[in-house]
Amino acid sequence: MGKADSSRGLNRRDFVKTGIAAGISVQALPVLAHSAPAAVPDRWDHSADIIIAGAGTAGLSAAIEALDHGASVILVEENYDCGGHGMVSGGRVNLGGGTSRQRAHGIEDSADAVFEDWLRHEPLVERYADRDLARVYADLSAETFEWMIENGVVFQDEILGADSRNGRTLQWPIYEELITSYPTRHGSGLLRALEKSARAKGAQILLLHKMRDLIQDPDSGRVIGFTALHEGSTLYLRGTRGVILATGGHTSNVNFRRMFDPRLTEEYQVAGEPWSAQTADGEIAAMAIGASLWGTASQTMEAGAWISKTAHIGCQWGYSSLWWQPDSPIFDKARASGLSDVNWQNVILVKQNGRRFHDETGGGHDFFAAALSYSGDPNKKNGGGPIWAIFDADAVARQEWDPTPPNVDPAGYFFSAGSLTELAGKIDNPHQTIAMPGAALEETVARYNSFVDAGVDEDFGKRNPRYKIQTPPFHAAWSTPILHDSLCGLRVDTRCRVMNLRGEPIAGLYAAGESMGGFPQHGLGRCALFGRVAGRDAASA
């Protein structure tokens, strides 16, 4: 385990401690054990018709729908603010079927057309969609778009892109109150509007409250509440009509995600962090009382963007379209923006053993399979370990980079040295489980430079390798792939009731958003739509 510079917030014990205090979940945190439902308390701390775990897209949508149907609502949110992953998302809202926006732009669509598109075989992820849930999505798609407008969401007055295969329009809300200045983060426009609407309609939102265990009636087995951790205390919340899980998926939970792919060990970061993490809290609590998962093939099939190449190197979190800037209120957690607009001809990528593993210009599933493969540590055969971009002073000049903080994070994610051997010796990161051999890195760079001379990459077929790595100082920048959203989760029926292993609904328990499985759509549309379904059904219980 590498050393950490506590002055930069990378001491793991301190980072975990301060992260929890600020309501920011950390990807490498150990999972809290959930072994059984909590006992019914003698006294409830909070009570409402419906209680919801998570105040992101699904949770806020469920709250608004329940309030509109006469129920009282309490939401608990572990972060210090609302929004979840949706707040820093691109804002894609895949809702069609004949919306007012589609009609205004002359696009013809229908619920049947949307459903038929979900029966097709491309992209591959749709092969694993539950047909009944696809029908619900198709039937409520247009209605949900109009519902968003009614609840204050303002969309750009243009069609930014049309997904003709699905017959749906990609809608983009107008962003507001961003927690990062990166201009493509439109998700905040949706989430802030939903939060304002939920509060105006009477929702009580408890921030810095982390949902923990479900509570069942000992006689009927009905879920009647859950526990939540707040400032070191355990609180008991009762939902007299229902409990809705909208905790946001599982990709940040290392133990949970490794059920689907054992290679996804601690070194792989997650899109949306460090703003919010997908901790699997809802899934774990539900599984403790017999809930089933659903559509698990969607999570790691070689289709879609469940894992992506880093776009901003030299920082811990380098997701392609999320570029943390110093003016962000959580930049103390992000610590660095990263070096961006990488021309992969300017770098080589090596594993922790100092060896190349693939054509650096690649980015498909063959690239990721190579990145996740064994990398030299005899005690760690799962996971590929860190990936480092190696480059020199000439590359810095060509890219017009400034490789100093806050652009890079020298506390474990960026290193510089006057020689390659010295550079290898400096690399020190919590996920670097072996010391990088200086001789191996020297040999790797020399071999690559010979490919530049020859114009042919004999190892991995990089097309026309252009630039030698030869001018000091030399640099190593963190470039480890990043996991994306959760595409599987708890099994639900068409009313979003959570199902047990026998295919029966668990009374009083609902799930929506990325905690829910069976409908593997990327984007905010499914979260809002199925959140509404859960809120409406729970309110009518």
Letter for the amino acid at 168? R
Structure-model confidence comparison of residues 226 and 26, the more confident one: 226
Give 178-198 pLDDT, tens digit per residue. 777 666 678 899 999 999 999
Which residue, chain included where needed, has tokens 């097309």? 463
Asked if omega into 123 is within 30° of 0 (cis), the reply is yes
Q: Which CATH architecture has domain 16-87+199-302+486-539?
A: 3-Layer(bba) Sandwich (3.50)
Asked if omega into 406 is within 30° of 0 (cis), the reply is yes
In the structure encoding, which two tokens stand for residue 390, read together?
Answer: 């190696």
Contacts of 42 by beta carbon, 8 Å cutoff, 6+ apart:
none
- What is the rounded CA–CA span in Å between residue 476 and residue 435? 14
pLDDT at 375: 81
Q: What is the mean pLDDT of residues 381-387?
A: 89
Give 77-94 pLDDT, tens digit per residue. 999 999 999 998 888 898
pLDDT at 18: 38
Asked if omega into 405 is within 30° of 0 (cis), the reply is no
Q: Mean pLDDT over all residues of the chain?
A: 89
How much of the chain is helix, strand and coil, in % rounded to 5? 30, 20, 50
- What is the rounded CA–CA span in Å between residue 96 and residue 169? 6
Contacts of 238 by beta carbon, 8 Å cutoff, 6+ apart:
44, 46, 47, 48, 51, 215, 224, 225
Q: Quote the distance between the C-alpha of residue 49 and its chain's center.
A: 30
pLDDT at 80: 94
3 state DSSP class of 210: strand
In the structure encoding, which two tokens stand for residue 86, read together?
Answer: 């949706």
Decide: 155 and 22 in contact? Cβ < 8 Å.
no
342 closest CA partner among 391, 280, 415:
391
pLDDT at 163: 54
Q: Are strands 93-94 and 168-171 parallel, antiparallel or unpaired?
A: antiparallel
Largest Cα–Cα distance of the chain, in whole Å?
Answer: 77
Decide: 48 and 204 in contact? Cβ < 8 Å.
yes
- What is the rounded CA–CA span in Å between residue 216 and residue 93? 35
Listed in order, the ranges of the chain carrying CATH 3.90.700.10 are 307-483
Listed in order, the ranges of the chain carrying CATH 3.50.50.60 are 16-87+199-302+486-539
- What is the rounded CA–CA span in Å between residue 256 and residue 280? 7
- What is the rounded CA–CA span in Å between residue 83 and residue 61? 11
- What is the rounded CA–CA span in Å between residue 451 and residue 462? 9
3 state DSSP class of 500: strand
Which residue, chain included where needed, has tokens 């026998």? 502
Q: Where are the alpha helices (DSSP H) in 201-312?
A: 254-257, 281-287, 297-300
Give 32-46 pLDDT, tens digit per residue. 444 567 899 999 999
Q: Which CATH architecture has domain 307-483?
A: Alpha-Beta Complex (3.90)
pLDDT at 175: 74
pLDDT at 35: 52
Query: What is the per-residue burial (b if ≥16 Cβ within 10 Å, else e) of 365-396?
Result: eebbebbbeebbeeebeebbbbbbbbbbbebb
pLDDT at 172: 81
On the 0-12 / 13-18 / 19+ scale of CB atoms within 10 A, 218 is exposed
For the chain, the straight-line distance linking the first and the last C-alpha, in angstroms and rounded, comes to 52
Most trustworthy range by pLDDT among 8-22, 269-283, 300-314, 376-390: 269-283
161 C-beta neighbours (distance < 10 Å), count: 11
Q: Whole-model pTM?
A: 0.90
Percent of the chain surpassing pLDDT 70 = 89
DSSP 326-346: TTSTTHHHH----B-S--GGG
3 state DSSP class of 150: helix
